[in-house]
A and B are shown apart, each in its own frame.
Chain A
Amino acid sequence: MKAQVKEDWFRKDRLPHIFCVGCGNGTIINCVVDAVFHLDLDIDKTVFLSGIGCSSRAPGYMASDSLHTTHGRALAFATGVKLGRPEFDVIVYTGDGDLAAIGGNHFIHACRRNIDMTVVCMNNQIYGMTGGQGSPCTPIGKLSTTTPYGAQETPFDLCELAVGAGANYVARWTSYHVKELRNAVITGIETPGLSFIEVLCQCPTSFGNKNKIGEGVEHASYLRKNAMLLQKARRMEEEGKKIPPETFIVGEYVKRSRPVMGGKT
């Protein structure tokens, strides 16, 4: 069944969704739905998967088949879906705690095997659902429930990790850059092999309020103000300039054609 209008991709009986006021996850769902509607995918031949967390509530609002799996194992389930039914389009919604902390090994090996799917990581830099504990992506010096004097550990750079592990398409955007994010998801679905799109999104309830950033609007403006294009960051590195702290590097990291596992034939 093909969608006639964009709203056909949503389960209207489940809306409005449970995300907090100003949460960026809804924006990311919107962009992904706009991308799959633009590509005119078949609703019966698309599968959305997720693990556990705020971000992983997203497949529950999709009209297509969806799997809400165990914590961190969304990519393992997605591997099974893709290898069992290679004609399906597999899209994985996942969060930073889900993907980087408990599912880290699954992520590295899914990138290494280069399985044909699209992974959208909603990185809100905190464990939002369980009460704001520090995640592997919490920046240095930021407060959370488990880091009351500021996080001391170096955060994960998920995009560099995916490039090193061998994903075919890697990009990072924020939830303010909606057009670029939508185009990145379209490119990711069209590219064979694992496409990894990291989206920095606002979490006004657990991260923004605790770190004096503010509610949804202020947090989105903060994401916009501190974003820096990858080309500019590389140019600054060549010139020997120092990239200011609290800067998010956004852009398309890599697009290549390594051998793909489980692709459409």
Chain B
Amino acid sequence: MMKQLTINETLCKGCNLCTIICPYRIFQIGTTPNRRGIYIPKLYKPGRCTNCRLQDLYGRQLCGTCALICPDQAISWETVSQYKKPEIMIEY
């Protein structure tokens, strides 16, 4: 089990406030509009996020300034299972 940064595309309005507050500069200004014509920020190497890496170890919320500054409550962490190497099926 580990955490993963997600941006909710139905809530985000594309204000880019998260791009100035992240200490790791994970959020980058988006380049392609989505279905609603809004430029959603891109995630650049989101594995560096402190909260994703260390929340389970410390048992509490770390950093989290992006989720606090987001005016539309669009940034959250969702729990995902660990990455598994896909098994290759060999058909005979």
Using a CB–CB distance below 8 Å, which chain A residues touch chain B?
7, 10, 15-17, 19, 21-27, 29-31, 34, 175-176, 178-179, 182, 215-217, 220-221
Residues of B within 8 A of A21 (CB): 13-15
Could you name 8 residue pairs across A and B whose Cβ atoms are closer than 8 Å? A10-B73, A16-B72, A17-B72, A27-B71, A179-B65, A179-B68, A216-B15, A220-B20
Known: A217-B20, A220-B20, A221-B20. A22 touches B15 (CB 8 A): yes
B11 beta carbon closer than 8 Å to chain A: yes
CB atoms of B71 and A22 under 8 A apart: yes
Number of A-B contacts defined by CB within 8 Å: 63
Residues of A within 8 A of B21 (CB): 176, 178
CB atoms of A220 and B11 under 8 A apart: no
CB atoms of B17 and A22 under 8 A apart: yes
B19 beta carbon closer than 8 Å to chain A: yes
Using a CB–CB distance below 8 Å, which chain B residues touch chain A?
10-11, 13-17, 19-21, 65, 67-73, 76
Known: A15-B11, A217-B15. A30 touches B20 (CB 8 A): no
CB atoms of B20 and A25 under 8 A apart: no
**Chain B residue nearest to A28 in the complex (CB):** B71
Residues of A within 8 A of B76 (CB): 7
Measured in the bound complex, the distance between the Cα atoms of B67 and A140 in whole Å is 34
Residues of A within 8 A of B20 (CB): 217, 220-221
Measured in the bound complex, the distance between the Cα atoms of B71 and A215 in whole Å is 14
What 9 A-B pairs come out closest when comparing CB atoms? A26-B71, A178-B68, A22-B15, A216-B15, A21-B13, A21-B15, A16-B11, A178-B69, A27-B71
- Chain B at the A interface: mostly helix, strand, loop or mixed? loop
CB atoms of B17 and A216 under 8 A apart: yes
Among A21, A34, A176, A221, chain B packs the most CB atoms within 10 A around the CB of A21
Partner of A220, one of B13, B17, B67, B68: B17
How close is A146's CB to chain B, nearest CB, in angstroms? 27
Partner of A15, one of B15, B19, B65, B73: B73
Residues of A within 8 A of B16 (CB): 22, 216-217
Residues of A within 8 A of B13 (CB): 16, 21
CB atoms of B69 and A27 under 8 A apart: yes
**Chain B residue nearest to A179 in the complex (CB):** B65
How close is A55's CB to chain B, nearest CB, in angstroms? 13
Residues of B within 8 A of A24 (CB): 71
Measured in the bound complex, the distance between the Cα atoms of B19 and A26 in whole Å is 16
Known: A16-B10, A216-B17. A31 touches B71 (CB 8 A): no
How close is A258's CB to chain B, nearest CB, in angstroms? 31
